[in-house]
Amino acid sequence: MLYFISANYTPKAMQAMAKKPDTNRRDAVEKLVKAAGGKVVAMYGTMVDGPGAMVIVDVDPGVGAAIAAVVASSDGACNVRAQRLFTMEEVIGIRKKRIQLQKSYSPPGE
């Protein structure tokens, strides 16, 4: 399964990378993802909400959240987010299932 994981670097991480500007964080991410039995599909740097990174990983169900938890528990990252990515075929299946289940649900107040 594909997961999108993003995080911002903390000031401590930024200071460490300023001392070693050639540091390639992809190496550390690939080591973590490989240890989890997955692979890195893509990794990019981000700047929108402050310097950070985003990675797409292919891992077993539930492992994406565990990887994000490891990153979040470090002192080098903050604002960590993990999101499962769905193929368009899966999205269509979800839409169909929603329509099927909708009649079984009563919203609050009804």
Q: What is the pLDDT of residues 46-101, one digit of tens each?
A: 998 889 999 999 999 889 999 999 999 999 999 999 999 999 999 999 999 999 99
How many CA within 13 A on the CB side of residue 73?
6
pLDDT, residue 2, reads 96
Q: In the chain, what are the domains?
A: 2-85 (3.30.70.260)
- The model's pTM: 0.85
* CB within 8 Å of 64: residues ≥ 6 apart: 1, 3, 5, 57, 82, 84
Question: CA angle, 69 as apex, 48 and 7 as ends, to 5°?
Answer: 10
